[in-house]
Structure 1
C-alpha cells in the first residue's frame, strides 16, 4: 500500500515532464489563442476617405460640442491610440502633419521582436527592467502577428558560429528567449541548431571560414517576427477611421489653447491647416494626446512654454542590398564592431541591413551618412565577402525618440532602455507619450488611453475596456477567402504581392481589374506594381501625394530608389486622372517625389 502514493507521484511527475516536453515540440501549445467575440464589427466596410473624415471634424467646431480626444501625430503610437480610444467608445480626431508613418514609423528595422540583445543585457547586467521589457515585447509580438497576419510573418534568424563557445553561449541565450516567450504564450517557433551544411544550404553566400582561420561550426537559429511597418501603421489608422474616428493626414496643428465653454468646462481649441485643400479648420477637444515621436517637445510648445518630456533622440540607418547577401527567407544576426548587433534580413525581395544607434539632432530631413552606410557594409563583409557602396539599392535613416529617465544622460543612446513614458499635463489637458518601440505600439497605446481616461476624462466620457489585444486591422478579417493561386489574369508575383499588401482587400483590386483591364498595366518590368495599385491607394488609402505611393503604400523608395524614380511620371499621371489634378499640380508632384528620393542616398 505504501508504494501506491509513490507510484502516483512518479506517474504525475512523468506526466508533467512529458507535457512540458510535448509542448516544446509543438509551438501551438504555448501560443496564445485569440477570441474575437468581444470585438465589434467595423462601422464602415468601405474605408472612409480623407474627405469623409474631414466632414466628421465639422461636428466638433464648437467648444460646446468637443470631441473626446485630439491626437497629434499619425505614426505608430498616434494610430494605435486612435484605434484603442475609438474602440473604447471615445470620439477621436487624429491629425498628421505629413503622411501616416512618414517619419520614424516607416524607417524601422521591420522586426517584431522581444529584443535578443536586450535579453543579453538583462542577463549579464542583472537588469530586471530589460528582462521585463523583453517579456512584454514577446507577448506583444504574437498579438501584432494576429492583428495583421498579411503584413507580419515569422522569420527564422540565424547566428553563425565559428567557435564552440559561441555555440554554447548563443544556444543558451535563444533557449532562454524561448522560455520567456512560452511563459508569455507568445511562441512563434522554437530555436535550434543548424549544422554547417544546413547553414550553408540556407545561405550559400555565408563564409565557410573567417579571415583568422576559423571555420564555420554551424549556426544557432531562433524565431522572431517581421512586418511591413508603414502599411501596418496605415492599416491601424484606417481601421480606426472604419470604427468612427476622424483620421486625417496632411493636417498640421498650428496652434492649441485651453478655453472655457458656456458650461464652464475647459476644452482645447486646435487650429489646423489642411495642407491638401489649403484651408484652415478649428476643432475642439476635451483632451489632447501628443504622439509626435521625435517632435513631442515641439508639439508641447504649441500649447505651453514648458516641456515636461525628457527625450534622447537617436538616429538609426538601414540599407537595402541584393537579397543574395542574406539567408534565404530568413534573417541573420551579426555582432557589430561597436559591441551591438547588426541584423541582415530578407524583406520584400531585398536584403535589409541595419541598424546604427547614435545621438542626433531632431530634424524633419534626417538622412543616412556615408559613414553610417560604410559601417553597415563593413560589418556584413566578414560574413558574406566584399559589398561596395555601389551595391546599395536604397538607404534611409530614422530618429528613435528614446525616453530619458530622470537624472539620466542621453549621450550613450545604446544603453537607454527602450521603455515608453506617458506624461500627463493636467493644466493643458495634454498627455504626451515618448519612447518604446514598434513591437509594443499596441501596449503603448493602451497605457496612453488608460492614463488619459484616469487623469483627464474620468466622469466626462464613456470608456469601455480595451479590446485591441483581440482586434484585427482591415485586410485581416477574411484572409482565408483570398485564393492561394491567382483566379484572374495577373502573374504569380502580383498575386503574392496583393495578398501580403492588402489581405482580404485583394478582392477589391480583383474586381477593379475585371471592370477595367487597363488597370493591369505594370508600372515597372521588375516590380509587381500595377496601375490598379495606384488607383486603389488614391481612392481608398488616403494616398494624397505621389511620394505617399512610392514610399508608404508600396515600399519602392525603401527597396530600390532607381525603380521608384522610374515609375514617378506614370504614378503622377494616374493620380492626376483619379484626383482631377491640374497639369501644374501634376508637375509639382513629380518634382516633390524626385526631391524626396534624395533622402534615400547617403550624404
Structure 2
C-alpha cells in the first residue's frame, strides 16, 4: 500500500511538473516567436593595422620584446595571439609566408582522430586516449573562434562486412562520448540502400551499411592568416619574410637573448632582443636547435644541401639534414572533381590495403583525398608529391568507386611534412636518428639549458592548447606578470559579430550570386563587405585575377573563361595586400586563396594577372614582375600538373 501510494504521488508530481514545463515552454516559444531578431549590420571596415614598413620600424625601435616567436605557422601565430592577449610585448618572425609549410598542407580536418581512438583501445593506451580527448575539446574551440572558416562535416564510413557494423557503431558512439559537451552531433547508422543513395559513387553491390560521425572541416591557411592578423590587431609585431640568421646569446651565461633576422625583401638585418625566445618552426625545429647548441648561435654550414636519393629527391633542397628531434614523414594529398564524393558528406576508408586510413572529403567545391605516410630521412624545404604517391591514392580510391578513376582528373597534388617528435636530449652521439623509439604522439614542449623554449609536434586541431602551454612556459621563464589565457573565447579576425545568416545578408545587400556570397562569407567572414565595397567602386574589381591588368577583356584572343568557375577576384587580391600582408603572387594564389591547391592548371593561368595587379599595388619594377612570374609558375608546376 505504501509503495503504491508513493508511486501515485510520484506519478502525479511528475505529471504536474511535465504540465508546468510544457506551459512554460509554450509561453517561451510564443515569446521567442514574437521577438524581432535584428541582425548585426554589415560593416565595410576593419581595425586599423600597421603596414609592413611600420611593423619593421616598430621592430627596429623596440629595445627589448618580452618574447620572440620564431615561426609563423599555426602554433607560432597561435603563440603570438595568446601572448599578446595576456599583455606581453610579442614579436614573431617567419622565414617565408604564414602557413607556407605544413600549416597549409593539412587534411583540413578539425578532428579528434578516430584512428587514435581505435589504437587507444587496442593498445590499452591512456596516452592515445588523452590525445583524442584533448583534440575533441580543441575542435570545439576552433569552431567557436572562427565559425566562418570551420564547419561541421559529417563523415561516412562505408561498411563491407556485417561483422564490422557493431564494431564501427560502438567506435563512433565512443567518439561522441569522449567529446562530452563538445560533441558536434550524434553519430548514426545508415542502411546499405540509404548509404548508396547518399554516395552513389560507391559500389552498392558489396555495401552492407554506412556509419556516420561528425568532425570539423576548415580552411587551414586562411585560419593561419587570421591568427597572424588577430595577433597584430592585439599589438604583436608579426612579420613574414624575416629569416633568423643567428641566435643572440649572453656572452657570460650563453642564454638566448634574441636573434638576428634578415628582411628577405630588402636584405636589411635587424637585431631583435627578447627576454624569452620560442622555437615554433615545426619540421624545421632542428635548425633552430642547432643554432641553440652552437656557442656563436650560428647555423651549421651543412644545413642546406641537395637531396639525391629516395623520396627526398623530389626537386627540393634539404632544409635540415639528420634531424634529431623531428622524425619527418610525407603526407600527400590530391584534389579531384566534386563527383568523386558526396557534396555534403565525407568518406573515410577505415582500412586500406596497407592498413592506412584514407579520407575523401568535400572541400571548397572539390574533393580532397589522402593521405600517404612516407618516412623521410631529411626535411626538404619544399616537399612535392611524386607520381607514385598520386597513383597510390588513385589506386586505393578505385577499390570502391564504380566509375574509372583517372589520372587526368587530378586537379592538384601536394606533400606536407608531418613532424613526429621526440626529446632530443635523450639521444646520444652515434644513436640512430631515424629510429622511432621514444616518439611523442602528442606535442612536445621543453626549454633548453640556454633558455630556448621549443614547441613541436601535435596537429592543427590542438594548436591553441599548444600555444597556451608554450606561453605558460614563457611566463615562467621570463618571470612575467601576465593576464590569464583567453584564447578559448576570443574571435579571430573575420569572426567578430558572425551570424549564421551572413551569406544571405551579404547577397541581399550587395546583390551577389549565392556562390559569390557563400565564397566571401566563408573565407573572409564579417570583413567581406570591404571586398564588396571594392566591387561597387569599380566593376573591374569583380573580374577573376586571371584578367588582372587587361583593360578590355574582349580584345584578348584565346581567353580562358574557365577562370570564372573560381571566384578569386581582383578585389580579393587588393584586400589581401592591404589587410593580410600578401607579399608575393604565391601568397595569394596558394594561401590567402586556395587557387593552386584546388586547380593548379587554372592557377598557373592566373599568375600573370596576379603579378600585374600586385605590381601596381606594391610598386614593383619590371624585373621584379618577371621574377615573380617565374617563381610562381615554377612552384605551381610542382602541384601535380
Q: TM-score, normalised by structure 1?
A: 0.87
CA deviations over 1:195-233 (Å, ceiling 9, x no partner): 223212221211113xxxxx2122000000001000111
CA distance in 2, matches of 1:535, 1:120: 47
Q: Deviations over 1:166-217 (max 9, x none)?
A: 11110010000011112xx2111110011223212221211113xxxxx212
Match of 2:487 in 1: 468
Equivalent residue, structure 1, for 2:81 = 83
Q: 1:197 aligns with which of 193, 200, 214?
A: 193
- What is the Cα deviation at residue 412 of structure 1? 7.9
TM-superposition CA deviations, 1:109-158 (whole Å, max 9, x none): 00010000000001111111101110000000010000100000000000
Q: What pairs up with 1:567-586 in 2 under 5 angstroms?
A: 567-586=606-625
- Between the aligned partners of 1:413 and 1:562, the Cα distance in structure 2 is 38
In 2, Cα distance between equivalents of 1:564 and 1:552: 12
The 5-angstrom pairing of residues 325-404 of structure 1 reads 325-334=340-349, 335-360=351-376, 361-385=378-402, 386-404=404-422
2:517 maps to 495
How far off its partner does 1:369 sit? 1.6
Equivalent position of 1:258 in the other structure: 249
User: What is residue 133 of structure 2 aligned with on the other side?
Assistant: 135
Paired residues for 1:141-180 under 5 Å = 141-180=139-178
Asked if structure 2 preserves the Cα contact closer than 8 Å seen for 1:74 and 1:249, the reply is yes
**Which of 422, 439, 447 is matched with 2:469 structurally?**
447
Distance 1:160 1:452, change over 3 A: same
Unpaired segments ≥5 residues, structure 2? 19-45, 296-321, 546-562
Q: Residues 31-50 of structure 1: matches in 2 within 5 Å?
A: 45-50=47-52
Q: Deviations over 1:307-363 (max 9, x none)?
A: 996221111000011111112221111121221210000100111001111211201
Q: Does residue 1:220 correspond to 2:211, yes or no?
A: yes
Determine the C-alpha separation between the residues in 2 that align with 1:473 and 1:204.
38
Cα distance change, pair 190–424 in 1 and its aligned pair in 2 (3 A): same
- Cα distance between partner residues in 2 of 1:590 and 1:292: 28
Residues 247 and 258 in structure 2, CA contact (< 8 A), matched pair in contact too: yes
Secondary structure (helix, strand or coil) at the match of 1:287 reads strand
8 Å contact 1:72–1:96 — kept in the other structure?
A: yes
Write the distance in 2 (CA, Å) between the matches of 1:434 and 1:7: 60
Count of residues in Structure 1 that have an aligned counterpart in Structure 2: 557
Report the Cα distance in structure 2 between the residues aligned to 1:119 and 1:462, rounded to whole angstroms: 39
2:282 is matched with 293
State whether residues 442 and 458 of structure 2, in contact with CA within 8 Å, keep that contact through their aligned partners in structure 1: yes
Structure 2 counterpart of 1:243: 234
Q: Superposition pairs for residues 423-442 of structure 1, below 5 Å?
A: 423-425=446-448, 427-442=449-464
> Separation in 2 of the partners of 1:410 and 1:346?
38
Quickly say closer, same or farther: Cα 1:389–1:49, change in 2 above 3 A.
same
Structure 2 residue 603 is the aligned partner of structure 1 residue 564 = yes
- Aligned pair in 2 of structure 1 residues 436, 7: CA closer, same or farther (>3 Å)? farther
**For the residues of structure 2 that align with 1:290 and 1:378, how far apart are their CA atoms?**
39
Residues 1:588 and 2:627 are matched in the alignment: yes
In structure 1, what is the Cα distance between the partners aligned to 2:118 and 2:104?
A: 27
User: Do residues 322 (structure 1) and 311 (structure 2) align?
Assistant: no
- TM-superposed CA distance for 1:46, in Å, is 2.8
SS class of match (2:447): strand
**Residues 71, 5 of structure 1: alpha-carbon distance in 2 compared, 3 angstrom cutoff:** farther
Are residues 394 and 414 of structure 1, via their aligned partners in 2, closer, same or farther at CA, if it must alter by over 3 Å?
Answer: farther
Does 1:3 find its partner at 2:3?
yes
SS at match of 1:401: strand
Q: Structure 1 196/241 Cα, relative in aligned 2: closer, same or farther at 3 Å?
A: same
Counterpart residue number, 2:304: none
The equivalent residue for 1:40 is none
User: CA contact under 8 A between 2:604 and 2:637: conserved in structure 1?
Assistant: no
> Which residue in the other structure is 1:27 paired with?
none
Structure 1 residues without counterparts, runs of 5 or longer: 19-43, 210-214
User: Does structure 2 retain, via aligned residues, the 8 Å contact 1:48–1:540?
Assistant: no
Distance 1:320 1:522 in 2: 21
1:186 maps onto 2:203 in alignment: no
Q: Secondary structure at the match of 2:564?
A: coil
The 1:521–1:259 alpha-carbon spacing in structure 2 relative to 1, beyond 3 Å, is same
CA contact (8 A) 2:258 2:277 kept: no
Cα–Cα, structure 1 residues 517 and 340, in superposed 2: closer, same or farther, change >3 Å?
Answer: same
> Would the aligned equivalents of 2:335 and 2:410 in 1 still touch at CA under 8 Å?
yes
Find the residue that maps to 1:343 and give its secondary structure.
Answer: strand
Distance 2:564 2:437 in 1: 42
Task: Tell me, yes or no, if structure 1 residue 482 matches structure 2 residue 506.
Answer: no
Report the Cα offset of residue 278 of structure 1.
Answer: 2.6
Distance in 2 between the 1:396 and 1:308 partners? 22
- Deviation of 1:414 after TM superposition, in Å, equals 12
Map of 2:581 onto structure 1: 542
How far apart, CA to CA, are the structure 2 residues paired with 1:49 and 1:336? 49
Cα shift readout 1:344-396 (whole Å, capped 9, x = no counterpart): 00100111001111211201021112221111111111111431222111000
Q: Quick one: distance in 2 between partners of 1:533 and 1:320?
A: 23
Does residue 277 of the first structure (1) align with residue 266 of the second (2)? yes
Shift of 1:270: 1.6
Which one has a bigger Cα radius of gyration?
Answer: 2
Q: For residue 33 of structure 2, what is the aligned residue in structure 1?
A: none
Structure 1 pair 280–493 and aligned structure 2 pair: CA distance change class (3 A): same
Task: Summarize the Cα distance change of 1:168–1:513 in structure 2 as closer, same or farther, 3 Å threshold.
Answer: same
> Match for 2:54 among 48, 52, 55?
52
Q: In the alignment, what sits opposite 1:32?
A: none
